[in-house]
């Protein structure tokens, strides 16, 4: 399959998802609104922790960054990881696999959809925080680190979603498990809260995973918090770790798909 | 007598369905039990990154960790009822049983009033022990009493929410049909207004007024007033109990009307397939 054909296939995936997920039934608007209301439910009580010396803008900015990173994890879990399960449930996975185009083409079409979804939700989050607390103040103090951190985050999340997705399909795990992982992972790896605010044990555990590095770099580049190890180390180790994670994810996916071809899927139920 | 027997049959069938669902999927059971802790951790961590435990304690008079574990437990229990009722037609449609439910001789309102009961009983029973460890750490010998209080209030709050949920079910499906995207907006809104994570007495006036329309918001407020030692007169306590009970009872005939209208509309329009 040549490059042009692959791009054509990716475009077909993109258009199909754009209509089905974002346009039809006002999917983008209603989905993002729902997500925002869920976030209001969980974020508003966090304001009860505010001390009188902390400004509302500071509170709002920190929450906004946490939401942005949490939303990235959500995209990875549900848009990318759960996608394989959904394809399986819809009876499409087999066709994708035997078409010879491979999953990469499918994901090439899917990633722009996630980007649109992410942009809508992040804009709504900004509006929500501005209305409830105060407009978040986003100041990029270190642009280079922001670029490195963002690239690391995309790599790590894509790798995580490929591992999660392939395991979900081959083990037949249920939706609540994916939902649970989607919550616990950003919490335990410093995705939501700066590592400096976490106990030393959790800091050490978080640093052993590839997830903490991009989150720490992004927060540092926005002047929100200091990093627990030096910034250059964060950038170097994080880049090496995320690259290694991507290679591992590719190998895991390859192995799981070959297993899938031999053994079939474990469960076809939706939940 | 026959009606009662029919009700018991529905309850038994729903109970077995729920029990099988919970025991068949062990991982689901584990996640159900762990959820209050995960949600509490999420809020506490975000909260601690924007402020401090002491500020929270000063504002509410309680340590944030047991407060949010307890609130998350309450949330899961109340949400269990809301979800069982509101999602049921969507779920039935997806598995192809909606037609049978609508056309069955059993009274639909009764059916939807019974639907959440088995899961409420089972999840309360299964999740209750998870509260005890955290309460033991923070309250020592009082842990059993506090856990008992929270579990009882969670049960009452969720139970009082049933008739309101059925009213929302009938009205929602009558006006908007099986629109699960919109349903996903209604669910968290109900939880916000109930005042589980953000106590009602701290809410702005408009939200507080809307909140009084939900029966469980009064019981949740009462629980928080007891646990957080908020000075409350006996008259106010009685009014909270009275309002919660009265609303739950008022919503019963209204829910019957709304479900009746929705079912009739579904049959006329042929939306049962």
- The ipTM assigned to this model is 0.87
Residues from chain B that touch A44, judged by Cβ atoms under 8 A, are 192, 197-198
Q: Residue B24 — pLDDT band, cuts 50, 70, 90?
A: confident
Q: According to the model, what pLDDT value does residue B172 have?
A: 94
Q: Residue A168 — pLDDT band, cuts 50, 70, 90?
A: confident
Contact criterion met (CB < 8 Å) for B55 and A44 = no
From A31's Cα to the closest Cα of chain B, the distance in A is 6
Full 3-state SS string of A127-192: HHHHHHCCCCCCCCCCHHHHHHHHHHHHHHHHHHHHHHHHHHHHHCCCHHHHHHHHHHHHHHCCCC
Dihedral class, residue B257 (left if φ above 0, else alpha if ψ from -120 to 50, else beta):
alpha
Q: How confident is the model over A86-105, as a mean pLDDT?
A: 81
Q: Is the pLDDT of residue A270 over 80?
A: no
Please tell me the distance from the alpha carbon of residue B107 to that of residue B252, in angstroms, as a whole number: 14
Q: Is the dihedral of CA B154, B157, B159, B165 positive or negative?
A: negative
Q: Is the pLDDT of residue A239 over 90?
A: yes
Please tell me the distance from the alpha carbon of residue B53 to that of residue A191, in angstroms, as a whole number: 20
Nearest to B46 among A30, A33, A192 (CB): A192
Contact criterion met (CB < 8 Å) for B50 and A59 = yes
From B1's Cα to the closest Cα of chain A, the distance in A is 38
Q: Residue B270 — pLDDT band, cuts 50, 70, 90?
A: confident
Q: Give Cβ neighbours of residue B215 (< 8 Å, ≥ 6 apart).
A: B160, B161, B163, B164, B243, B244, B245, B247, B248, B251
Pick from B116, B111, B186: which is nearest to B158 by CA? B116
Q: Which comes out higher in pLDDT, residue A152 or A27?
A: A152
Q: Residue B159 — pLDDT band, cuts 50, 70, 90?
A: very high
Please tell me the distance from the alpha carbon of residue A233 to that of residue A250, in angstroms, as a whole number: 25
- A interface test, pick of B36, B50, B78, B185 with most A CB neighbours within 10 Å: B50
B46 and A CB contact within 8 Å: yes
Q: According to the model, what pLDDT value does residue A1 have?
A: 58
CB pairs under 8 A between A and B: 125
Helices A212-221/A143-171 angle, 10° precision: 150
From B113's Cα to the closest Cα of chain A, the distance in A is 24
Please tell me the distance from the alpha carbon of residue B116 to that of residue B111, in angstroms, as a whole number: 9
Q: Is the pLDDT of residue B273 over 60?
A: no
Contact criterion met (CB < 8 Å) for A45 and B53 = no
Q: According to the model, what pLDDT value does residue B57 have?
A: 93
Q: According to the model, what pLDDT value does residue A266 have?
A: 66
Q: According to the model, what pLDDT value does residue A5 have?
A: 85
B50 and A CB contact within 8 Å: yes
What tokens does A263 get? 């053994």
Contact criterion met (CB < 8 Å) for B31 and A176 = yes
Residues from chain B that touch A47, judged by Cβ atoms under 8 A, are 47, 50-51
Find which of B14-23, B164-173, B264-273 is predicted with most confidence, using mean pLDDT.
Answer: B164-173
Pick the residue from chain B with its C-alpha nearest to A67.
B46
Please tell me the distance from the alpha carbon of residue A20 to that of residue A25, in angstroms, as a whole number: 8
Nearest to B197 among A26, A41, A194 (CB): A41
Pick from B182, B54, B199: which is nearest to A37 by CA? B182
Contact criterion met (CB < 8 Å) for B49 and A179 = no
Q: Give Cβ neighbours of residue B257 (< 8 Å, ≥ 6 apart).
A: B170
Q: What is the mean pLDDT of chain B?
A: 90
Q: According to the model, what pLDDT value does residue A268 have?
A: 54
The answer to whether residues A60 and A151 touch, using CB atoms and an 8 Å cutoff, is no
Pick from B221, B110, B201: which is nearest to B156 by CA? B221
Q: According to the model, what pLDDT value does residue A129 have?
A: 92
Q: Is the pLDDT of residue A269 over 80?
A: no
Please tell me the distance from the alpha carbon of residue B191 to that of residue B50, in angstroms, as a whole number: 23
Pick from B224, B153, B67, B147: which is nearest to A45 by CA? B67
Please tell me the distance from the alpha carbon of residue B215 to that of residue B245, in angstroms, as a whole number: 7
What tokens does A79 get? 């848009």
Q: How confident is the model over A250-263, as a mean pLDDT?
A: 86
From B207's Cα to the closest Cα of chain A, the distance in A is 13
Q: Give Cβ neighbours of residue A254 (< 8 Å, ≥ 6 apart).
A: none
- B interface test, pick of A32, A37, A41 with most B CB neighbours within 10 Å: A41
Q: What is the pLDDT of residues B222-238, one digit of tens each?
A: 999 999 988 889 999 99
From B71's Cα to the closest Cα of chain A, the distance in A is 11
Q: Is the pLDDT of residue B149 over 70?
A: yes
Q: Residue B135 — pLDDT band, cuts 50, 70, 90?
A: very high
Instruction: Look at residue B77 and give its three-state secondary structure.
Output: helix
Q: How confident is the model over A210-236, as a mean pLDDT?
A: 92
Percentage of chain B lying above the pLDDT 90 cut: 56
Please tell me the distance from the alpha carbon of residue A24 to that of residue A16, in angstroms, as a whole number: 11
Nearest to B198 among A25, A44, A198 (CB): A44
Residues from chain B that touch A51, judged by Cβ atoms under 8 A, are 51-52, 54-55
What single-letter DSSP state applies at residue A228?
A: S
**Sequence ranges of the domains in chain A:** 3-263
The answer to whether residues B89 and B169 touch, using CB atoms and an 8 Å cutoff, is yes
Q: Is the pLDDT of residue A173 over 90?
A: no
Q: According to the model, what pLDDT value does residue A267 have?
A: 59
Q: Is the pLDDT of residue A68 over 80?
A: yes
Q: According to the model, what pLDDT value does residue A271 have?
A: 46
Residues from chain B that touch A187, judged by Cβ atoms under 8 A, are 38, 41-42, 45
Q: What is the pLDDT of residues B92-107, one digit of tens each?
A: 888 888 888 888 888 8
Q: Is the pLDDT of residue B79 over 90?
A: yes
Pick from B10, B22, B13: which is nearest to B112 by CA? B10
Enter the pTM of the model.
Answer: 0.86
Contact criterion met (CB < 8 Å) for B38 and A183 = yes
Q: Is the pLDDT of residue B59 over 70?
A: yes
Q: Residue B213 — pLDDT band, cuts 50, 70, 90?
A: very high
Of the listed ranges A185-194, B46-55, B206-215, the least confidently predicted one is: A185-194
């Amino acid at each position: 399959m040549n490059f042009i054909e692959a791009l054509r296939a990716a475009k077909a995936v993109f258009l199909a998802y754009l209509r089905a997920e974002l346009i039809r039934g006002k999917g983008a608007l209603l989905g993002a609104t729902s997500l925002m209301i869920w976030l209001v439910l969980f974020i508003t009580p966090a304001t009860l922790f505010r001390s009188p010396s902390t400004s509302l803008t500071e509170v709002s900015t920190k929450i906004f960054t946490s939401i942005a990173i949490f939303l990235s994890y959500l995209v990875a879990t549900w848009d990318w990881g759960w996608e394989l399960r959904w394809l399986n449930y819809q009876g499409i996975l087999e066709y994708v696999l035997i078409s010879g185009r491979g999953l990469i083409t499918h994901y090439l079409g899917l990633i722009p959809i996630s980007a649109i979804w992410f942009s809508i939700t992040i804009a709504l989050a900004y509006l929500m925080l501005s209305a409830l607390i105060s407009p978040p103040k986003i100041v990029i103090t270190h642009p280079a680190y922001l670029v490195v951190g963002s690239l690391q985050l995309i790599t790590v999340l894509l790798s995580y979603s490929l591992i999660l997705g392939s395991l979900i399909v081959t083990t037949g795990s249920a939706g609540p498990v994916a939902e649970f992982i989607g919550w616990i992972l950003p919490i335990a790896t410093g995705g939501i809260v700066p590592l400096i605010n976490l106990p030393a044990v959790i800091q050490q555990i978080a640093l052993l995973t590839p997830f903490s590095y991009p989150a720490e770099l992004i927060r540092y580049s926005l002047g929100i918090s200091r990093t627990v190890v030096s910034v250059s180390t964060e950038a170097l180790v994080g880049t090496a770790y995320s690259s290694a994670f991507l290679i591992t994810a590719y190998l895991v996916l390859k192995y799981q798909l070959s297993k899938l071809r031999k053994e079939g899927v474990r469960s076809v139920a939706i939940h | 007598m026959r009606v009662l027997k029919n009700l018991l049959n529905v309850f038994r069938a729903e109970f077995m369905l729920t029990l099988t669902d919970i025991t068949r999927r062990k991982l689901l059971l584990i996640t159900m039990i762990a959820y209050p802790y995960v949600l509490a951790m999420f809020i506490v961590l975000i909260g601690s990154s924007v402020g401090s435990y002491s500020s929270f304690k000063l504002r509410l008079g309680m340590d944030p960790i047991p407060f949010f574990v307890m609130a998350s437990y309450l949330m899961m229990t109340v949400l269990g009822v809301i979800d069982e009722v509101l999602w049921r037609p969507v779920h039935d449609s997806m598995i192809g049983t909606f037609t049978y439910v609508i056309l069955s001789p059993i009274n639909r309102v009764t059916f939807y009033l019974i639907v959440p009961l088995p899961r409420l009983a089972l999840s309360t029973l299964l999740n209750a022990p998870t509260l005890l460890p955290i309460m033991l750490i923070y309250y020592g010998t009082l842990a059993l009493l506090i856990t008992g209080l929270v579990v009882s209030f969670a049960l009452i709050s969720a139970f009082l929410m049933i008739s309101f949920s059925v009213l929302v079910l009938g009205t929602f499906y009558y006006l908007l049909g099986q629109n699960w995207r919109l349903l996903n907006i209604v669910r968290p809104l109900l939880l916000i207004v109930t005042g589980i994570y953000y106590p009602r007495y701290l809410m702005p006036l408009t939200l507080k007024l809307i909140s009084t329309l939900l029966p469980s918001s009064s019981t949740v407020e009462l629980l928080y007033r007891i646990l957080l030692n908020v000075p409350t007169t006996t008259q106010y306590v009685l009014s909270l109990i009275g309002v919660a009970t009265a609303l739950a009872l008022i919503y019963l005939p209204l829910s019957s009307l709304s479900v009746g209208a929705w079912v009739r509309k579904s049959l006329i329009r042929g939306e049962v397939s």
